[in-house]
Chains A and B, each alone.
Chain A
Amino acid sequence: MKPGQREEISGAILDEESELTLGELCRACDIAAEEVLALVEEGVIEPRGRSRTRWRFSGICVRKVRRVYSLERDLGLNLAGAALALELLEEVERLQARLARLERERGRR
């Protein structure tokens, strides 16, 4: 990449509806297939489709996997602990968004 380059770059949104194969998810998260299996077993991510070759993961799995791994590595957690931490963090984020909205509603009265 040349310095000073200023072209517009467009990307693809990874959302609930985008679909990744097992291999694509591994490459997106820089992890091995065995690690994805462990995450599926722990219930952190849920693939659609029965057999592993047909597994499809939604786009939001990429962020979940990355967060679980960085929590595990940086805080010395095991997989179950990191999975729990992620679930709680996601819940806190939902509640914070809701709280901000409700506080706004009350403030305007």
Chain B
Amino acid sequence: MEYKDYYQILGLERDASQDEIKRAYRKLARKYHPDISKEAGAEDRFKEVGEAYEVLKDPEKRAAYDQLGSGYHAGQEFRPPPNWDEGFEFHGGGYTAADPEVFSDFFESLFGRGGFSHGFGGARQRHYHAHGENTYAKIAVDLEDSYHGGTRQIALKHSELGPDGRPQLKERKLNVKIPKGVTEGQQIRLAGQGEPGFGEGKPGDLYLEIAFNPHPLYSVEGTTVYLNLPVAPWEAALGAKVKVPTPEGAINLTIPADSGNGSRLRLKGRGIPAKTPGDMFVVLQVVAPPAGTEAEKEAYRAFSQAFTFDPRSGLGS
């Protein structure tokens, strides 16, 4: 297993005071909390930070960790020296809110799993009711999945009792049907796919929170879908019929005469097909063609002759 440098994880020197440790932990916990940070890998960082704090906040565990020495560096292959913890008695200085089930092998090899002989009081009080616990995960889908429905595979990690009676981290793959009309931030409930129940109890449910993968064409806010549509100045001025992509397929759209840059055309009910379907907006982007050839330059000159147009009239004198 790999050595973990808990000081480095919290961005601290080895002689940091307990106050500094607490401050560093609090700051990083706020930064990487999976409900706050949208950064990829935030959740793993959050767990790592929680594990580091679990050890360093408790003077007994910290002292034991420190006497492993500073000779290791992060990621180095590590085996705990025999009797490394001789002379230490862990009183379980109160667990943090971190979930001990997600602690690393490195942590476990030093401090055991889920607490010490003297009671493991703080963190996760497992309710020994019959129902299994509900579990939560995030899933990224494409906008098209919400329009047409689709199937996504998701890999879930969970712990299971192994043959040696110790919990093991297992991966479970599920093929999940993405129902039509989902929007970002909504959850899908998969009945019975959570943690197994105790005894005769039913398993909990699995809640999947939906996020959309970024789309090359469309932006989405709630159930509203936006498309930027480039148009030529004459199309905007005179009106035109153009072919426009929508997530449901291309349509012929009439651009009314006298449209301008930023004009929005509403396609009612062509947003996300939720129970109350959203709208789609086509936002016009007037693009002026570059004048390359002599004929094109001549056209621009004729243009300037025909108009009395001051694009800077709004700037004052």
Q: Which of A9, A13, A60 contacts B182 (CB 8 A)?
A: A13
- Whether B191 is near chain A, meaning CB under 8 Å from some CB there, is yes
CB–CB A75/B285 < 8 A: no
| Complex alpha-carbon distance, A58 and B257, angstroms | 44
| Complex alpha-carbon distance, A60 and B261, angstroms | 37
| Complex alpha-carbon distance, A44 and B25, angstroms | 27
Stretch at the interface among B28-36, B59-67, B80-88: B28-36
- Whether A7 is near chain B, meaning CB under 8 Å from some CB there, is yes
Residues of B contacting A71 in the complex (Cβ-Cβ under 8 angstroms): 33, 35-36
Are A62 and B172 CB-contacts (below 8 A) given A15-B275, A101-B219, A105-B283?
Answer: no
CB–CB A11/B35 < 8 A: no
| Complex alpha-carbon distance, A59 and B274, angstroms | 14
- Whether B226 is near chain A, meaning CB under 8 Å from some CB there, is yes
Are A13 and B186 CB-contacts (below 8 A) given A105-B228, A108-B285?
Answer: yes
B201 to chain A, nearest CB (A): 12
- Whether A27 is near chain B, meaning CB under 8 Å from some CB there, is yes
CB–CB A109/B261 < 8 A: yes
Residues of A contacting B50 in the complex (Cβ-Cβ under 8 angstroms): 74
CB–CB B175/A3 < 8 A: no
Stretch at the interface among B11-19, B101-109, B130-138: B130-138
Q: Which of A6, A9, A59, A85 contacts B186 (CB 8 A)?
A: A59
Q: Which of A9, A62, A70 contacts B175 (CB 8 A)?
A: A9
- Whether A46 is near chain B, meaning CB under 8 Å from some CB there, is no
CB–CB B97/A73 < 8 A: yes
Residues of B contacting A105 in the complex (Cβ-Cβ under 8 angstroms): 228, 262, 283, 285
- Whether A17 is near chain B, meaning CB under 8 Å from some CB there, is yes
Q: Which of A63, A74, A96 contacts B187 (CB 8 A)?
A: A63
Q: Which of B29, B176, B191 contacts A74 (CB 8 A)?
A: B29
CB–CB A17/B188 < 8 A: no
Residues of B contacting A62 in the complex (Cβ-Cβ under 8 angstroms): 187, 189, 207
| Complex alpha-carbon distance, A75 and B50, angstroms | 11
Are A101 and B177 CB-contacts (below 8 A) given A67-B35, A75-B30?
Answer: no
| Complex alpha-carbon distance, A27 and B186, angstroms | 18
CB–CB B30/A63 < 8 A: no
- Whether B190 is near chain A, meaning CB under 8 Å from some CB there, is yes
| Complex alpha-carbon distance, A74 and B46, angstroms | 10
| Complex alpha-carbon distance, A87 and B206, angstroms | 25
CB–CB A108/B230 < 8 A: yes
- Which residue of the partner chain B has the closest CB to A27? B131
CB–CB B186/A1 < 8 A: no
A-B contact pairs, 9 of them (CB 8 A): A11-B206, A12-B191, A15-B183, A27-B134, A70-B35, A71-B35, A75-B33, A96-B38, A104-B228
